[in-house]
A and B are shown apart, each in its own frame.
Chain A
Amino acid sequence: MNIKLNMPDISTRPADKCVTKLKAEGVNLYYGSFQALRNITLDIPSCSITAIIGPSGCGKSSLLRLFNRMNDLIHGARLEGNVELDGTPIYSPKIDVAELRKRVGMVFQKPNPFPMSVFENVAYGPKRHGIKSRGELEEIVEKSLRHAALWDEVKDKLGQSGLALSGGQQQRLCIARVLAVEPEVILMDEPCSALDPVATLKIEDLMRSLSEDYTIIIVTHNMQQAARVSDTAAFMMMEPDRAGVLVEYGPTAQLFTNPKDKRTEDYITGRFG
């Protein structure tokens, strides 16, 4: 193993906080006739960062989008199996999808602020969930921007378009926008792939500090990043004609230093993928 590990010490976390937050059991996902996920079973612990790694097209994003039902938006998507949030099946017909997505926020690969002001971007979620008073919104916006380590950079330009910020700032704005609805889980789909190294480091620091309060799942192409920030890691792979196989899942330190599966070892040592 030649990957330098700088593992966070998760033993200091209060033990009672680390319960199973999200759970997938025997999940198969199909887009039309294409099977994107194959018999996925995993438990995501709360208040930690879980990384999903693997080569392009292996189903990482599909797995991530399972947890806030974003796959629903894709026409022809069909799911088998069970996904639970805090023990409640989220694909049950009784579930209010909007409410679920409020609890399970998402940051996308490409920074995608709305074509509105910085303030309106952050206030968008809270407004949709019924907060009308300007004072309350101002409070939430400031808190979220501070939490996303963006406040000092944008406090004088809250009225400016969110699209006028730099890429890294836009991504932190998107994180602030998610934080503003006070989710429990934050899904991040390659949040740094469009950013430069400095902005990437800022986002990673942010993720570490957010992991105190939030359950974070991150899809990443960058194995160093997975090793740097995550507590647990899942390795997915695509075999010929078979995408969406979960090969190995466990504590990041173990997955990177002592993988159980030969394929994981091959991938993280750069022998393929």
Chain B
Amino acid sequence: MLQQNVAPTAAEVSNRGLKRRLRLGERFIEGWIFLAGLLAIVVLLGIIFILLKEGLPIFTHTPPWEFLFGTKWYPVSDPPTFGIAPFFVSTLMITLISTVVAVPIGVACAAYLSEVAPPKVNDIVKPIIEILAGIPSVMMGFIGLALLSPFVQSLFHLNTGLCGLTAAIMLSLMSLPIIVSVSEDAMHAVPREFKEASYALGATKWETIWHVCIPSALSGIAAAVMLGVGRAIGETMTVLMVAGGALAVPASPTDPMTTMTSAIASGIGNAVRGGLQYQALFAVGLILFILTLAVNIIAERVLERQKRKFAR
């Protein structure tokens, strides 16, 4: 066979140039996206690295076991002791209570907005919830101090209304908007066909919500709950202002408390950089990090199982 060399026409040449330029542009954008993705990983690794670097040395002073379960936090005594059990228990207690309070209210509110409320009510209530999400946590602290804590104090006949319960209620208010909006989205996304089928079988509105909407939206609701839990674990300022700040292991929700976040926030200013207290606070941060990571992994597992159940 004869190979014929045909010179490319001018149009073909310019076309080729265009294609090459497009390919270059494509590469460029791909590169940027790759870098952006890489940045997230680098930042995460950086955080872990700093936490480990600054926090781990404390364990040469206090063994991890004593650090976790020790009940005495005396950073400036001689010798200092670093036991974070009071913070750990406080964080767990406050997070648990705020979740228990916020989830039923949030899911019920979401069900109301998605299935029951007429559009006019929706138009009013949804922006209000979003405003609630935008209130700075310091303001929530004020509200807790001025309004809620006297109420809690008189209700439970306490010496002070600044306690874990007050903080938990404030936190539940703060995690409510995210729980409502995420689970409302999830319920709204349940196919109309399912709801119609349920109504057509003679189910009432309540039965349809309970047996069709919520189960079908469960993965979204679980995600909403986890976001709420994450918010409650991580919230610092409100808790610092209203939880009471006691350093003992709380025995009841109405005891004054210091959570892990507020311990870091209130202590880090006084800590000598690189000193023992400084290291201990970073170690608290490390444990907080592990805790939120665990919450995320559990959430992931739950969602995965839920998905498999529906995909079967």
Are A124 and B198 within 8 A (Cβ)? yes
Residue A161 at the B interface, CB < 8 A?
yes
User: Number of residues in B with C-beta < 8 Å to the partner?
Assistant: 22
Contacts of B198 in A (CB 8 A): 114, 124
In the complex, what residues of A have CB within 8 A of residue B211's CB? 124, 128
B201 engages A102 (CB within 8 Å):
yes
**What range describes how many residues of A lie at the interface?**
20 to 34
Contacts A98-B204, A124-B201, A124-B211 given; does A112 touch B194 at CB 8 Å = yes
What CA separation (Å) do A112 and B195 show in the bound complex?
10
B292-312 interface mask toward A, CB cutoff 8 Å, 1 = contact, 0 = none?
Answer: 000000000000000000111
**Given the interface contacts A114-B212, A125-B201, A128-B202, does A108 sit within 8 Å of B196 by beta carbon?**
yes
Query: Least Cβ distance of B216 to chain A in Å?
Result: 6
* Cα separation A73 to B197 with both chains bound (whole Å): 12
B212 touches A101 (CB 8 A): no
- Please tell me if the beta carbons of A161 and B312 are within 8 angstroms of each other in the complex: yes
By a CB distance below 8 angstroms, the chain B residues around A108 are: 193, 196-197, 200
Contact call B201/A105, Cβ cutoff below 8 A: yes
B49 on interface, CB distance cutoff 8 Å: no
Q: Chain B residues near A73: list those with CB within 8 A.
A: 196, 199
Asked if residues A128 and B193 are in contact (CB atoms below 8 Å), the reply is: no
Asked if B196 contacts A75 (CB within 8 A), the reply is no
- Inter-chain contacts of A116 with B (CB < 8 A): 215
Question: Could you say which residues of chain A place their CB within 8 Å of the CB of B204?
Answer: 98, 128
Q: Is A178 an interface residue (CB 8 A)?
A: yes
CB-CB under 8 A from B201, the residues of chain A are 101-102, 105, 124-125, 128, 177-178, 181
Q: Is the CB of B207 within 8 A of A128?
A: yes
Please state if B200 and A101 are interface contacts (CB–CB under 8 Å).
yes
Listed residue (A68, A124, A178) with the most chain B CB atoms within 10 angstroms of its CB: A124
A160 interface residue per 8 A CB criterion: yes
- Interface membership of B33, Cβ < 8 A: no
Cβ-based interface call for A174 (8 A): yes
Chain B residue with Cβ nearest A174: B197
What chain A residues lie within 8 Å of B200 (beta carbons)?
68, 70, 101, 105-106, 108, 178
Say whether B196 contacts A70, CB under 8 Å. Answer: yes
Chain A 174-191: CB-based contact to B (< 8 A → 1; otherwise 0): 100110010000000000
A98→B204 CA distance, assembly (Å): 6
The 4 closest A-B pairs by CB, nearest first: A102-B202, A112-B193, A106-B200, A125-B201
Given A128-B204, A161-B312, 11 other A-B residues pairs in contact with their CB atoms under 8 A: A70-B199, A70-B200, A75-B118, A108-B197, A112-B191, A112-B193, A114-B194, A128-B203, A128-B207, A160-B312, A177-B197
